[in-house]
A and B are shown apart, each in its own frame.
Chain A
Amino acid sequence: MATATTAGMSAGPKPASRSFSARLVHGDQVAHAITFVAAATILLITTMLVIVLWDNSTLPRAKFGLSFFIGRVWDPVSEQFGALPFVYGTLVTTAVSLVLGVPLGLGAAIFLAELAPPKISDMLAFVIELLAAVPSVIYGLLGIFVVVPFVRTTLAPALKHTLGFLPLFQGPCYGVSFLAAGLVLAIMIVPFIVSVSREVLLAVPTDQREAALALGSTRWESTWKVVVPFALPGVLGSVFLAMARALGETMAVTMVVGNVPQIKASLLEPGYSIAAVIANEFTEATGDIYLQALIELGLVLFLVTFILNGLARLMILFTSQRGATA
């Protein structure tokens, strides 16, 4: 921020050839200022968000300290608060949604970008972008009326029958569960993955494909071994965008996850997520420390998102470097 400002200021008197007004005519200075303000605003909003969350969670931070992260009890009556079951639920539902959503989304994007006739591709892309605009409460309703009964009556018994030896698929299932939440989230994030990935794949230069085909590779080989690796940083970007959406999703998750703050290995068990508990309990939280514990949960969610996005950045860096050296 500081360097940008000094650069902007020193740019005025220094270059003798072009006066400030001359540059202004070209609009560079104006464009610089406007875009700089836009960028700075984003940073400012983020900083303010953290400050407000930090400022308004002093009581629980003083009382629980770091044990807030590992506490498993959430008891408003005795004012004992621990975030672990919520963090766990958030991570598990997000992971399930990515495991289901990424192959589906990437597959669809590859088909639309590489294999489908352009007309069909454009039409489907339009429909998919429409899906991304559907409010999450609608997905929640879909979850309640379709996904939850399906999980209870069909999917859970089938999973227990075939993969029941895994701890992931054991115990009774009431429908509302980590799995149901993951499924609904997967449906919600697929449009993001498809939409962005398709654009990125379409942006891969035709030369790349032609070169691969000229070397004797099949259509699929050129797609999978040349086009997709070329577009990988962008594709990963779409996945992380989807992950961020899944982490913060509130309404759809609380409608199907069961809202039980517990840590269970089985995906068929009900759970809870950070965003869901904040939305559920915030309005009626009367005690000061209770309210502030909910705000601290917001801080924790921010931290979780921050860490995961940081890891994502590293991953993109790693893959693009590998792509460059290969």
Chain B
Amino acid sequence: MKRLVLVGSLCLGLALAAGAQSGTILMNGAGATFPYPIYSKWFDVYQQKHPNIQINYQSIGSGGGIRQVIAGTVDFGASDGPMKDQQIAEVKTGVLHFPTVLGSDVPTYNIPGVTAELNFTQAALAGIYLGKITKWNDPEITKPNPGVKLPADEIVVVHRSDGSGTTYIWVDFLCKVSEEWKTKVGRDTSVNWPTGLGGKGNEGVSGLVKQTPDAIGYVELIYALQNNLTYGKVQNKEGVFVRADLASVTAAASGAAKEMPADFRVSITNAPGKTAYPISSFTWLLIPTTIPDATKRNTLIDFLKWMLTDGQTYAAPLGYAPLPKEVVTQELKAINKIQ
């Protein structure tokens, strides 16, 4: 294990050392792939403002990001899921979570003859993914969709085969709305699926759904928007069917902001609020609590402040929902914890 981390960090270090020049401040980060487009945009813009700072980010996956943070081989990490208590305890310098943007999952489907935007109840999604609702004309699906003629065909369930933050959000939502899911399956970046086929990546899932008649799958909102996929509305905590878009995802975060824990490790699936889209999540930067190197510390603090204020305007054009004001205020306060 240690050897693995060592080899990984050596490779990373070599790659980064090659790019380092004297006089520049070099920051290394690694982690989640989902926010990679916005992160690279941020780092790029920030570097243009501060030519002496160079921030490298390797999108090696949330798991890898957390491991690198624990091993202390990066200046910061990034993850789509919050670190577990036990993992935080392993970080010698301590670690803080900073939400950066929001992501969400949408249910996409391919039912021959049906072009309507379907409404999915929470029970319907849980039932389908538990393998209990097996036909498209099940009353749980037809009741909230009056006027749509759903066939009596078997539902083909599709999920991600690769470990992913997208899966984490999806099953986290199912955990909250279904007691059975919580006890039988649980939440993680990949789980022991009760039913369904696995597709690799968003493109794998959407490919399988498009190809297979009567299939349903879940993909990231950004992916669905970019590829013009049909996706359904999902019933939220207040019982309203909400279409996923940047506004409804941000609304979910402001709904959750009222009960935000001090360390920001919060799940905002099934958040309260009439306009909140229920299958949303923060993605986090993982910042060490104590950074002995003063230049690095000040650079990171300055970057975080910029990211939370000006940086947020870059989110929406790339399809990421920006943070609500309440959360930004809370985070700006939390930056003071970095020593």
Contacts and interface: CB of A to CB of B under 8 A. Distances in A.
Interface of A: 52, 55-56, 73-78, 80, 144, 148-149, 152, 172, 174-176, 254-255, 258-260, 270, 272, 276, 279-286, 288, 291-292
Contacts of A73: 192
B200 A78 contact: no
A73 B191 CA distance: 11
Contact of B197 (A75, A176, A280): A176
B192 A174 contact: no
A144 to B, nearest CB: 6
Interface string B61-86: 11110110000000000000100100
A255 B204 contact: yes
Contacts of A80: 192
Contacts of A152: 211-212
A212 to B, nearest CB: 52
Contact of A284 (B87, B190, B200): B190
Nearest to B62: A284
The 5 closest A-B pairs by CB, nearest first: A259-B198, A284-B163, A283-B61, A259-B161, A77-B186
Contacts of B193: 260
Most chain B CB within 10 A, of A76, A80, A172, is at A76
B91 to A, nearest CB: 13
B196 A260 contact: yes
A288 B193 CA distance: 21
A172 B211 contact: no
A280 B189 CA distance: 11
Interface string B139-157: 0000000000000001010
24 contacts: A52-B3, A56-B1, A56-B3, A56-B4, A73-B192, A76-B188, A77-B191, A144-B207, A174-B212, A258-B198, A259-B198, A270-B197, A280-B198, A283-B63, A283-B163, A284-B61, A284-B62, A284-B63, A284-B165, A284-B190, A285-B189, A286-B62, A286-B84, A288-B1
B189 A284 contact: yes
Given A148-B211, A259-B200, A76 B191 contact: yes
Contacts of B211: 144, 148-149, 152, 175
A174 B189 contact: no
Contacts of A74: 192
Contacts of A55: 3
A176 B161 CA distance: 13
A288 B33 CA distance: 20
B162 A76 contact: no
A38 B207 CA distance: 45
Contact of B163 (A174, A255, A281): A281
Interface in B12-39: 33
B60 interface: yes
Contacts of B274: none
Nearest to B161: A259
Contact of A283 (B84, B154, B162, B212): B162
Contacts of A258: 197-198
Contacts of B154: 172
A284 B162 contact: yes
Nearest to B33: A283
B237 interface: no
Interface in B86-135: 87
Given A77-B191, A148-B211, A286 B63 contact: yes
A175 B156 CA distance: 12
A277 to B, nearest CB: 8
Interface in B193-224: 193, 196-200, 204, 207-208, 211-212, 215
Contacts of A76: 163, 188-192
Nearest to B81: A286
A281 B159 CA distance: 13
B105 to A, nearest CB: 15
A284 B156 contact: no
B197 A174 contact: yes
B87 to A, nearest CB: 7
Interface centre among A52, A172, A260, A292 (most CB of B within 10 A): A260
A292 B2 CA distance: 12
Given A77-B186, A280-B163, A286 B200 contact: no
Interface in B165-183: 165
A255 B203 CA distance: 10
A286 B191 contact: no
B190 A281 contact: yes
A149 B213 CA distance: 11
Nearest to A148: B211
B265 interface: no
A56 B67 CA distance: 14
Contacts of B215: 174
B31 to A, nearest CB: 10
Contacts of A144: 207, 211
Contacts of B189: 76, 284-286
Contacts of A280: 161-163, 190, 198, 200
A297 to B, nearest CB: 14
A279 to B, nearest CB: 8
A284 B164 contact: yes
Nearest to B187: A77
B62 to A, nearest CB: 6
B3 A283 contact: no
B229 interface: no
B185 interface: yes
Contacts of A255: 200, 204
A114 B314 CA distance: 66
A298 B162 CA distance: 17
